[in-house]
Amino acid sequence: MKINTMTTIVRWVSTLIVLGSLGACERYMEKTPCSEHFTQGDLGRWQVDSQGLAVDPNTGLRWFRCNAGERFEEGQCLGEAHFMNKADAAAYVADFAESAAKPWRLPTLDEMGTLRETACTNPAINTQIFPTAKVEQYWASDISRHGVQLACAYYNFSGSGYCRESVLNQRPFWLVLDK
């Protein structure tokens, strides 16, 4: 009787372990690309204007809808995204802010994390709001704790940030304004 009870307990525990581990695999399941997930005109929570700004009502941040280097015309991003090393990207943003007379800046990792869409990927962002978003690492303003030769970047394929990107790498970047 004792052996049967032990066998039953072992089976139940094994079943629970297997079921629990299957739930952890969800993040590896193939998700729909966000370009297919969002239908034409699906702005989600965002508010947009005709100058290419998108306002996130959850944070109050105002994002330029195009990559740095592109321009917003007639509802679309035109031109080529700038891919720059971290120092050049920071200098570009400072020059852009000065010429626009607005405090544009690089976003933080936490701010870029608010762009993440969990229902889709590749890139994990609403492509109706950010139509030319690249599947790339984007520069963030955060300072890396791993030395001056490393910087922080946000990989928007799945929406994750890290601070071990070489400052010399050529990366795209976004522009953001505070509330």
> Residue 147, class by beta-carbon neighbours within 10 Å (0-12 exposed, 13-18 middle, 19+ buried)?
exposed
pLDDT digits (tens, 9 = 90+) for 116-163: 999 999 999 999 999 999 999 999 999 999 999 999 999 999 999 999
d(Cα 65, Cα 75) in Å, to the nearest integer?
10
What does the pLDDT read at residue 168?
98
- The pair of structure tokens assigned to 34 is 């966000």
Q: Where are the alpha helices (DSSP H) in the chain?
A: 2-24, 34-37, 86-100, 109-113
For the chain, give the percent of residues with pLDDT over 70.
84
pLDDT of residue 31: 85
Mean pLDDT, rounded, for 27-43: 84
Q: Are 55 and 61 in contact (CB under 8 A)?
A: yes
Taken in order 122, 108, 85, 132, the sign of the CA dihedral is positive
List alpha helices for 43-120, DSSP H. 86-100, 109-113
Q: How confident is the model at residue 179 (pLDDT cuts 50, 70, 90)?
A: confident
Look up tokens 């052996």; give the residue: 3
33 falls in which pLDDT band (50, 70, 90)?
A: very high
pLDDT at 69 over 90: yes
Q: What architecture (CATH level 2) is domain 32-177?
A: Roll (3.10)
User: Is the preceding peptide bond at 123 cis, omega within 30 degrees of 0?
Assistant: yes
Percent above pLDDT 90 for the chain: 80
* Identity of the residue numbered 100: A
Q: Is it the case that residue 9 has pLDDT exceeding 60?
A: no
Average pLDDT, the chain: 89
Cα torsion 43, 69, 106, 93 to 10°: value is: -140
Q: What is the pLDDT of residues 74-113, one digit of tens each?
A: 999 999 999 999 999 999 999 999 999 999 999 999 999 9
**What's the CA dihedral at 163, 38, 122, 170 to 10 degrees?**
-50
Given this model, what pLDDT does residue 1 score? 52
All residues at 6 or more sequence positions from 67 whose CB lies less than 8 Å from its CB, including other chains: 77, 81, 82, 132, 133, 134, 172, 173, 174
Judge whether 114 and 59 are in contact, CB under 8 Å.
yes
